[in-house]
């Protein structure tokens, strides 16, 4: 166990954990947009700023990718963390003025109208969708494209990524809710990636429950599960 302090309170973490994780587990409130416990920390949104004192030196850093270290002292709410977070929020608000989660943060941190030219984007490039698709689902259907101020996230050929199984993990994890899923009896579509797959009907109840392609993929990557397992919906299995 590694012992350190957050805002003066003694907390414990394990080797390999990061400061944000331990802080959240202990009920400290640090705003964050690109972090998810199921994924490797990335450090893109820059919102989870804290001040860490180590060996007598204090510095501003993101907590999501800062490893827990014995004896460090973490401050989650200082003049500097607020100053940094406010500007990050203002930048994000100028980018995505219509996104509820950003508007809420702006309210919480008393950030008014952005002083920059306002865009009308809905994606904050946190990379959660890209990482969940790669790290958890394992199909690498989408990725970051371009760099610098032209960076965006999407399928390699802009639309209809061939490896996408329309599982909806990206839809679920997106903090700005900019990736939408539409489903009918016969088809499922991930709207943003323009990916539409036909649905399979449950052999038992006849209800369509998942895309064929997705079930084939699951069949391929799982061992020791009988092939007909994927013929039925979750309720009928």
Partner 1 sequence: MKRINNPQELEKVREEILGSRDPDKPCITICSGTGCHAFGCEKVTESFRAELRKQALEERIYIRTTGCHGFCEKGPLVVINPQKIFYQRVTPEDTGEIIAETLLKNNIIERLLYTHPQTGEKIVKEENVPFYKGQMRIIFGNNGKIDPTKIEDYIAIGGYKALSKVLRELSPPEIIDIIKNSGLRGRGGGGFPAGVKWESCRNAPGDKHYVICNADEGDPGAYMDRSLLEGNPHSVLEGMMIGAYAIGSDEGYIYVRNEYPLAVRNVGIAIDQLRECGLLGENILDTGFNFDIKVNRGGGAFVCGESTALMASLEGQAGEPRAKHIHTVESGLWEEPTNLNNVETWANVPLIINEGVDWYTDIGTENSKGTKIFSLVGKVNNTGLVEVPMGITIREIVYDIGGGIPGDGKFKAIQTGGPSGGCIPESLIDIQVDFDKLTEVGSMMGSGGMIVMDDKTCMVDTAKYFLNFLKDESCGKCTTCRDGTRRMYELVDAITRGEGKEGDIELLEELSWVVSEASLCALGQTAPNPVLSTIRYFTDEYEAHIKDKRCPAGVCKDLITYSIDEEKCTACGKCKKVCPSDAITGEKKVPHIIDTEKCIRCGACITECKFDAIEVA
Partner 2 sequence: MGPKAIDRILKKYDYEHSSIIGVLQDLQDEENYLPEKDLEHISERLSMPLARIYRIATFYNTFSLTPRGKQLINVCLGTACHVRGAARVLDRLKMYLGIDVGEMTKDRLFSLQTVNCVGACALGPIVVIGNEYHGQITPGKVESTIKKYRKKPRKSATKSPRHKKLKIEN
Residues 6+ apart with CB under 8 A from 113: none
**From partner 2, partner 1, none, which one binds at residue 63 (CB under 5 to 8 Å depending on kind)?**
none
User: How many residues form the binding site for partner 2 (CB under 8 A)?
Assistant: 16
DSSP-derived secondary structure letter, 67? B
Residue listed under structure tokens 């052999």: 203
CA geometry: angle 177, 221, 138, nearest 5 deg: 35
**From partner 1, partner 2, none, which one binds at residue 203 (CB under 5 to 8 Å depending on kind)?**
none
- Report residue 90 as tokens: 């203002």
Query: Per CB under 8 A, which region of 89-97, 111-119, 142-150, 181-189 contacts partner 2?
Result: 142-150
CB of 26 to partner 2, least distance (A): 36
Window 151 to 180, contacts with partner 2 (CB under 8 A): 155-157, 161-163
Beta strands 49-54 and 57-62, pairing class: antiparallel
Neighbours of 21 (CB within 10 A): 18
Tell me how far apart the alpha carbons of residues 178 and 195 are, in angstroms, rounded to a whole number.
15
CB of 142 to partner 2, least distance (A): 6
Bridge partners (DSSP) listed for residue 211: 199
CB of 134 to partner 2, least distance (A): 8
143 binds partner 2 (CB under 8 A): yes
Closer CB to partner 1, 33 or 170, in the complex = 33
67 binds partner 2 (CB under 8 A): no
Closer CB to partner 1, 63 or 208, in the complex = 63
Phi then psi for residue 236, to 5 deg, are -95, -5
- Beta strand spans in the chain (E): 2-6, 9-13, 49-54, 57-62, 73-75, 143-145, 152-154, 181-183, 187-190, 195-201, 208-211
- Report residue 128 as tokens: 């959660």
CB of 133 to partner 2, least distance (A): 8
142 binds partner 2 (CB under 8 A): yes
CB of 62 to partner 2, least distance (A): 22
The footprint of partner 1 (CB under 8 A) covers 42-47, 49, 60-62, 65-67, 80, 83-84, 87-88, 91-92, 94-95, 115-117, 124-125, 127, 144, 146-151
Closer CB to partner 1, 147 or 220, in the complex = 147
Tell me how far apart the alpha carbons of residues 210 and 195 are, in angstroms, rounded to a whole number.
14
Q: Which residues bind partner 2 (CB under 8 A)?
A: 134, 139-147, 155-157, 161-163
């Amino acid at each position: 166990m590694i012992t350190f302090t957050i805002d003066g309170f003694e907390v414990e973490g394990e080797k390999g954990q990061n400061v944000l994780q331990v802080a959240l587990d202990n009920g400290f409130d640090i705003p964050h947009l690109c972090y998810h416990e199921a994924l490797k920390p990335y450090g893109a949104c820059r919102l989870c700023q804290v001040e860490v004192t180590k060996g007598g030196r204090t510095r501003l850093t993101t907590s999501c990718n800062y490893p827990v270290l014995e004896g460090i002292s973490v401050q989650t709410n200082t003049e500097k963390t607020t100053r940094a977070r406010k500007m990050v929020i203002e930048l994000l608000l100028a980018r995505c003025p219509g996104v509820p989660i950003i508007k809420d943060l702006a309210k919480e941190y008393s950030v008014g109208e952005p002083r920059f030219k306002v865009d009308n984007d809905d994606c904050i490039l946190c990379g959660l969708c890209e990482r969940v698709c790669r790290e958890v689902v394992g199909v690498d259907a989408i990725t970051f494209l371009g760099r610098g101020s032209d960076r965006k996230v999407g399928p390699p050929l802009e639309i209809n990524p061939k490896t996408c199984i329309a599982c909806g993990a990206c839809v679920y994890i997106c903090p700005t809710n900019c990736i939408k899923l539409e489903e009918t009896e016969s088809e499922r579509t991930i709207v943003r990636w323009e990916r539409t797959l036909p649905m399979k009907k449950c052999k038992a109840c006849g209800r369509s429950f998942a895309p064929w392609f997705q079930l084939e993929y699951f069949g391929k990557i799982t061992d020791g599960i009988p092939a007909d397992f994927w013929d039925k919906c979750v309720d009928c299995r």
